[in-house]
Amino acid sequence: MNRSRQPKPISQLLKKSSSLYDLPLFTKLDSLLQSFLKQHNIKGCRVGNLKNGSLLIEIPNANWMMRLQFMRNDLLSHLRQASPGLLKINIKVNPHLSVNKKNIRTTKTRKKIRASKMPTDVAESFLALAEEADPELKKALQSLAEYSKKG
C-alpha cells in the first residue's frame, strides 16, 4: 500500500499549533475573560481551547450560553487585547463545570452553642417531676438536673 502523504515531524506540528501550548497567552485570556464576566455577573466559565484563531469558552449551563451569545462581539473585542489574532469565539456547555462547583462549595461550620447554666430552682423542679414520671422520662429529667450542676 502506497502512502500519498509522509508522516510529519512533531516539531512541525507543534509550530503549526503553537497557540495550544502558549501558557502565558492562555492565562492572560482567562484573566481577561474572568474580568469581563465579573462585570456581567456570570460565573463558572473558563477558556477551553485556542486553535487557529478560534477560542473555545466552556460554560456550566445553557443559561449562560444565551447571555454570552448576545455579548459575543463585545467579548471578542475585549479578548483581542491579549491576542490580536483572535478571529472568533465558540461557546460550549460543559456540565462538569457546574458539578465541580457544587463539590467545591464550602459549608459554613456551625458554631456549637453550649447551653448556659440552668438555675438551681429549675433543676430542683426537674428532680421533683422525675419522682412521679415513668422510668425513661425520670432518667432524662435527672440527667438534665445533673447537667445544671456540672456547668
Q: Write the DSSP string, 93-108.
A: E-HHHHHHHHHHPPPP
Cβ atoms of 51 and 21 closer than 8 Å: no
Indicate if 57 and 23 belong to the same structural domain.
Answer: yes
Q: Which residue has the higher pLDDT, 69 or 17?
A: 69
CA dihedral of residues 33, 43, 20, 86 (deg, nearest 10): -30
Residue 9 lies in a domain: no
* Higher per-residue pLDDT: 118 or 73: 73
Average pLDDT over residues 46-59: 88
Q: How confident is the model at residue 105 (pLDDT cuts 50, 70, 90)?
A: low
Average pLDDT, the chain: 79
Report in angstroms the alpha-carbon separations of 29 from 33, 60, 137, 145: 6, 18, 67, 65
Domain-embedded: residue 56: yes
Query: What is the per-residue pLDDT for 42?
Result: 83
**Does residue 2 sit within a domain?**
no
Instruction: Determine, yes or no, domain membership for 143.
Output: yes
Task: Give the pLDDT confidence score for residue 50 in this predicted structure.
Answer: 84
Q: Is residue 10 part of a domain?
A: no
CB 141 within 8 A of CB 129: yes
Task: Examine the domain organization and report whether 78 and 125 are in the same domain.
Answer: no
Domain membership of residue 66 (yes or no) is yes
| Domain membership of residue 132 as a residue range | 120-150
Q: What is the pLDDT of residue 99?
A: 63
Flag whether 130 is in a domain.
Answer: yes
Count of domains for the chain? 2
